[in-house]
Amino acid sequence: GGNSVNDAMMAGTLDFAAAGAPGFIELWARARGIPNVEVIGISGLSTTSLSLNANRPGLATLHDFTPSDRIAVPGIRTSLSAVVLQMVASRQLGPAHFAQLDSITVNLPHPQAMQALIRRENGVTAHFTSPPFSTLELRQPGIHRVVRSVDVLGPLTLDVVFAPKRLVDAQPALEAAFLGALDEANRLIAQDPRAAAALYAASSGVGVSHDDVMQMLAAPETRFSVRPNQLMDYVDFLYLAGTIKAKPRAWHEMFAPMLDDYRSG
């Protein structure tokens, strides 16, 4: 999870890490200005929608959740899913109630959460997740969508890549090589989605078919770019929630300048 990645980064055992955008922002704010500890963003990864899927017919909106419901996320209050759920709750239940659903969230990795939702196990009545899990869940009898993050918050970049600032300062060629390779991969997805889908279907281990992946890539909310989108929405929320004590004036302050060489898309 994001906390494990952040701990490993601060311990100096990782050079590059991919994690949910909120976890990176929290670590950036905590480590800012601390020599040999501070981190810097390298790139964005993916923009898609999280979906809150449910197996209880009475769950139509966030207002319908009761103390007996359980929402599975891969890390209570700290994971990408947990934070985005708070952001959705802030919009739909009111800013003062952003944490209202925290007490009914349970910690389950996405694969196990999908199985619990489908099989009605462990009291799980909902799961807040991204493709491919959200897509596969909705094909099962009795599973329906309550809300999508993209419909409430817009096209947020979900995950980013970051590194120790000392590494990026000392080895700019390493950053350049990484950015170039990631941008090339993103262009492959855009220009030859069939080939990209074949690669993912063969290696994901999730049990999705080539056609499944093609359907996910064709979704208008799905986008891959090294340049992140709407990161300041996370920053503003985390600051108001008290998770971070300082915030940048713009997302560029959290990322290495080399990213400016790449256009959006």
99: which residues sit within 8 A by CB, 6+ positions away? 77, 86, 89, 241
Does residue 146 share a domain with residue 82? yes
Percent of the chain at pLDDT above 90?
A: 88
Q: What is the pTM of this model?
A: 0.93
Are 118 and 143 in contact, with CB atoms under 8 Å apart?
Answer: yes
Residue 128 forms part of a structural domain: yes
Token pair for 154 = 């817009």
What 3-state class would DSSP assign to 257? Answer: helix
Phi and psi torsions of 43, nearest 5°:
-165, 165
Which pLDDT tens digit goes with each residue over 21-56? 999 999 999 999 998 899 999 999 999 999 999 999
How many Å separate Cα 159 from the centre of its chain? 5
Asked if pLDDT for residue 10 goes beyond 90, the answer is no
Give CA–CA dist 109/79, Å, rounded. Answer: 10
Residue 171 forms part of a structural domain: yes
Q: How confident is residue 2, by pLDDT bands cut at 50, 70 and 90?
A: low
Domain count across the chain? 2
Asked if pLDDT for residue 237 goes beyond 70, the answer is yes
Does residue 20 share a domain with residue 101? no
Which pLDDT tens digit goes with each residue over 95-136? 999 999 999 999 999 999 999 999 999 999 999 999 999 999
Q: How confident is residue 60, by pLDDT bands cut at 50, 70 and 90?
A: very high
CA-based nearest residue to 77, from 3, 161, 129, 134:
3
Does residue 255 share a domain with residue 161? yes
Does residue 61 share a domain with residue 7? no
Burial bucket for residue 16 (CB in 10 Å: 0-12, 13-18, 19+): middle
Residue 15 forms part of a structural domain: yes
Q: What pLDDT score was predicted for residue 14?
A: 85
Looking at 153, 176, 207, the residue that finishes a domain is 153
Asked if pLDDT for residue 3 goes beyond 70, the answer is no
Residue 126 forms part of a structural domain: yes
Give CA–CA dist 25/159, Å, rounded. Answer: 11
Does residue 133 share a domain with residue 122? yes
Does residue 248 share a domain with residue 126? no
Q: What pLDDT score was predicted for residue 138?
A: 96
Does residue 117 share a domain with residue 72? yes
What average pLDDT does this structure show over 221-227? 95
255 strand-pairing partners: 41
Q: What pLDDT score was predicted for residue 262?
A: 83
Does residue 8 share a domain with residue 43? yes
Q: State the CATH number of the domain containing residue 69.
A: 3.40.190
Residue 216 forms part of a structural domain: no
Which pLDDT tens digit goes with each residue over 157-176? 999 999 999 999 999 999 99
Asked if pLDDT for residue 264 goes beyond 60, the answer is no
Q: How confident is residue 214, by pLDDT bands cut at 50, 70 and 90?
A: very high
Residue 206 forms part of a structural domain: no
Burial bucket for residue 209 (CB in 10 Å: 0-12, 13-18, 19+): exposed
What is the chain's mean pLDDT, rounded? 94
Does residue 126 share a domain with residue 181? no
Q: What pLDDT score was predicted for residue 4?
A: 76
Does residue 14 share a domain with residue 33? yes
Q: State the CATH number of the domain containing residue 17.
A: 3.40.190.10
Residue 243 forms part of a structural domain: yes
CA-based nearest residue to 251, from 24, 9, 20, 10:
24
Does residue 59 share a domain with residue 140? yes
Does residue 254 share a domain with residue 227? yes
Give CA–CA dist 218/122, Å, rounded. Answer: 34
Residue 165 forms part of a structural domain: yes
Q: What pLDDT score was predicted for residue 263?
A: 67
Domain span at residue 64 reads: 51-153
